[in-house]
Amino acid sequence: MTASPNQTNGTRRFLALTLGSVGVVYGDIGTSPLYAFREALRPFAAGGFERAEVIGLISLMLWTLTIIVTFKYVLFLLRADNDGEGGMLSLLALLLKKAPKYATVMFMAGILGAALFIGDAMITPALSVLSAVEGLTLVTPAFHDYVLPISVAIMVLLFAIQSRGTGAVSIFFGPITLVWFLAMGAAGVAHIRDDLGILAAFHPAYAVAFLWSAGLVGFIVLGAVFLTVTGAEALYADLGHFGRRPIQAAWFAVVFPALTLNYLGQGALVLSHPESASDPFYLMFPDWALLPVVILATAATIIASQAVITGAFSLVRQAIHLGLLPRFEIRFTSETETGQIYLPLVNTALLTGVLVLIFLFGSSESLATAYGISVTGAMVMTTVLAFEFARHRWGWSVFTAIAVLLPLYLLELAFLGANLFKIHDGGYVPILIAGTLMAMMWTWRKGVRLLREKTTRSEVPLSQFIAAVERKFEHAPLGVPGTAFFLTATPDTTPAVLLHNIKHNHVLHEHNVILTIKTASVPYVAEKDRYTLNKLSKRFTELELRFGFMDDQNVSRALAHCRKEGFKFEIMTTSFYLGRRKLVPDPNSGMPKWQDRLFIGMAGSAIDPSDHFHLPANRVVEIGEQVII
């Protein structure tokens, strides 16, 4: 029986998505073998290590991959989606609507996790590329002095091409990363036979025995063991790009087996050749293959970096639409894929952070100590949000949710505690990055709230204003032909820009539209649900446009759809009125002086609303006012 064309196309699409997820979703976790086992062995370097310790470490790594990545992310969290979208802020957006009782706790958990993830987007490229380029020193020591310049050049080039979009190069991500995983798996198979005793690592008793006997050193080593699961958060965040089943298929068919074989091979190599502990990954390969593997590893780390950068762009866009950050410029680099975006300001900030980390730490060995806190912290916050998701979306009882998630939570807390021992060795870096980002998000949300409270004191109810206009008092403003759109966040009150227009220009248009733009707690809003139109009077209409937090908030396109549905206006006789506020610091604003100035600075960095909402450039009128805050 032959397959139908639809079945064939469906199979091809599934395989294409699976291959794409190998590159984009698992690019980060696929570079962990470069440094994870090496860093886990480092605490034993001075006194040497015993056979049971090597087997115990590999066992810890395999079971960490199994419990955290396989069970928590691939089998559990990929089912915890917000209309097909995953990630920290996607969960937060849903829970703030479904479970308002603990809104403050969930909000803090969400922004902390988001801040840690963005910090990870700085550390991952620096660590991954440094660890790959350092392989050149094994080809010839003459490359030692060129590691930093080459790494910097790769980073500058990588961030420079972000503005062109990932579409053109993403088709190569999957195949290159697939070759990378196959090479890692083959190297592992070739070395497992060096000491077949390493297969005992499949038994969890060796992991438990290692932690029991190693004591404090074993607890500290957990921080390095956790490097094996870096990238798991990106796996969840990219759910909307590929879908649950392709991501799961890629994990079980390619990624998990390749990682398992490679870690077993590294362990067997160290058991048979203890001197290889200095760099067990690269020493798995023969001399003739070393240079090609370094080149392949560098390509893999660039792909891993690209995936994290793209994830940071998506996360910042979600934060903007959820009101946690000001409206930064967002450029769409694809005509068909809304997920392919570029944020110039965020790109510059990430590049600056990556270059500072490269020069500050100088090597992957030093930078690895700073890694882990951001990843473990983000995972702990995800588990907290997943607990509420399971209760309010799936209807789990408190006891069921605790029984399933508490062991994961305690395990991740143990990993976080182990990483906290590295604060003085560089672990303070992700904490500083996350703290800065949290302060920015908290300041923006608080400042917007205070600004709204201050402006509402002088607001006039819209119904009262319309009634006064419709009575046509003697001093009623002169009517002019055409349509005027007035953007406002509070449709029940008269927009300040409308009052200022009447006050200074003494005119009122023939048709006036009070336009409100809302961001829904779902990733995308269907066109049929995009707008609501309400006729308030002969001269006034209320229009609400709704966008998902992953949608392109293109007002011009939405209005074109409204016209097709019967909302008539002529664009050449239409004006869009925007209010522009100049913020002046106030010592009695309710915020500390530093926070007041930070909010004003963030407001100044925001993109013009006409650009953010894609309003017709030649139809926008701005009227300014000064606000003390």
218 belongs to a structural domain: yes
> What's the confidence (pLDDT) of residue 280?
94
CB atoms within 10 A of CB 578: 19
Note the maximum CA span of the chain.
98
pLDDT in tens, 448-466: 888 887 777 777 888 888 8
> Does residue 1 form part of some domain?
no
Strands 341-342 and 478-487: unpaired
Strand 531-535 relative to strand 540-547: parallel, antiparallel, unpaired? antiparallel
**Residue 510 DSSP label:** E
User: Residue 207 falls within a domain, yes or no?
Assistant: yes
- CA pair distance 169, 544, nearest whole angstrom: 38
Q: What is the helix (H) or strand (E) element at residue 529, kind and residue range?
A: none
> Is the pLDDT higher at 617 or at 603?
603
- Whether residue 628 contacts residue 586, with contact meaning beta carbons closer than 8 Å, is answered with yes
In a domain, 9, yes or no: no
Q: What is the mean pLDDT of the chain?
A: 85
Parallel/antiparallel/unpaired status of strands 478-487 and 574-584: parallel
**CB 24 within 8 Å of CB 307:** yes
Answer yes or no: is pLDDT of 574 > 70. yes
If asked whether residues 466 and 394 sit together in one domain, one would say no
Residue 533 has pLDDT above 80, yes or no: yes
Interatomic CA distance for residues 117 and 135, integer angstroms: 27
Residue 167: band (very low, low, confident or very high) from pLDDT cuts 50, 70, 90: low
516, 557: one domain: yes
Q: Where are the alpha helices (DSSP H) in 457-512?
A: 462-470, 496-505
Please spell the DSSP secondary structure of 13-29, one letter per residue.
Answer: HHHHHHHHHHHHTSTTG
Nearest to residue 601, comparing CAs of 345, 391, 291? 345
Same-domain status, 372 and 234: yes
pLDDT in tens, 240-251: 777 889 999 999
DSSP string, 117-155: HHHHHHHHHHHHHHHHHTTHHHH-GGGGGGHHHHHHHHH
Domain termination site, one of 420, 446, 472: 446
| 528 and 429 fall within a common domain | no
Residues 397 and 544 in one domain: no
Degrees to nearest 5, angle at CA 230 with 224 and 141: 65
Residues 216, 124, single domain; the answer is: yes
Q: Report how far residue 157's alpha carbon sits from residue 107's, in angstroms, rounded to the nearest whole number.
A: 36
**How far is it, in rounded angstroms, from Cα 68 to Cα 80?**
15
Residue 436 tokens, joined: 């800065």
CB 625 within 8 A of CB 451: no
**Considering only CA atoms, which of 320, 240, 316, 327 is closest in space to residue 614?**
327
Q: Determine which of 207-216, 428-437, 473-482, 570-579 has the lowest per-residue pLDDT on average.
A: 473-482
Please report the pLDDT score of residue 473 as a whole number: 45
Q: Which residues contact 341 (CB under 8 A, 6 or more apart)?
A: 313, 314, 317, 330, 331, 332, 333
d(CA 466, CA 508): 11
| Number of domains within the chain | 2
Q: Provide long-range contacts, Cβ within 8 A and 24+ apart, for 146-152.
A: 147/363, 148/358, 148/359, 148/362, 151/126, 151/358, 152/355, 152/358
Q: Is residue 296 part of a domain?
A: no
CA dihedral (608, 610, 614, 619) positive or negative: negative
pLDDT tens, residue by residue, 363-418: 887 887 777 788 888 899 999 989 988 988 888 999 999 999 999 999 999 888 88
Q: Under a CB-based contact definition with an 8 Å cutoff, are residues 77 and 236 in contact?
A: yes
Whether the per-residue pLDDT at 252 is higher than 90: the answer is yes
Do 437 and 465 lie in a common domain?
A: no
Q: Which residues pair with 543 in a beta bridge?
A: 515, 533
List the domain range (segments joined by +) for residue 466.
458-628
Compute the average pLDDT of residues 252-281.
95
d(CA 474, CA 102) in angstroms, rounded, equals: 53
Q: How far apart are CA 135 and CA 297, in angstroms?
A: 9
**Same domain flag for 392 and 489:** no
What does the pLDDT read at residue 340? 66
**Under a CB-based contact definition with an 8 Å cutoff, are residues 441 and 325 in contact?**
yes
SS3 508: strand
In a domain, 58, yes or no: yes
CATH number of the domain within which 404 lies: 1.20.1740
CB 416 within 8 A of CB 377: yes
Q: Given 403, 418, 446, which residue is the final one in a domain?
A: 446
Q: What digits encode the pLDDT tens for the residues 349-373?
A: 999 999 999 998 888 878 877 777 8
Both tokens assigned to 137: 């020193």
Instruction: Round to whole Å and give the CA distance between 515 and 519.
Output: 13
292 part of a folded domain:
no
Q: Which of 406, 422, 446 marks a domain boundary? A: 446
- Whether residue 552 is contained in a domain is answered as yes
Burial of 478 (0-12, 13-18, 19+ CB in 10 A): exposed
What does the alpha-carbon distance between residue 437 and residue 442 come to, in Å, rounded to a whole number? Answer: 9
How does pLDDT run across 321-350, given as a tens digit for each residue?
A: 888 899 888 777 665 555 567 889 899 999
Tell whether 575 and 490 lie within a shared domain. Answer: yes
Place of tokens 């906290």: 420
Instruction: Give me the helices (H) in 65-102, please.
Output: 88-98
Task: In whole angstroms, give the CA distance from residue 339 to residue 241.
Answer: 8
pLDDT at 46: 65
- Tell me: do 353 and 378 sit in the same domain: yes
Cβ atoms within 10 A of the Cβ of 167, count? 13
CA 613 from centre of chain: 22
Residue with tokens 């993403």: 170
Whether residue 496 is found in the same domain as residue 395: no
Bridge partners of 580?
624
Q: Are residues 80 and 206 in the same domain?
A: yes
pLDDT at residue 5 in the model: 58
Place of tokens 């029991």: 212
Residue 476 DSSP SS3: coil
Least confident stretch, 12-16, 26-30, 213-217: 213-217
197 closest CA partner among 263, 259, 267: 267
Smallest CA-to-CA distance from 285 within 195, 187, 180 is with 187
3-state secondary structure 611-629: HHCCCCHHHEEEEEEEEEC
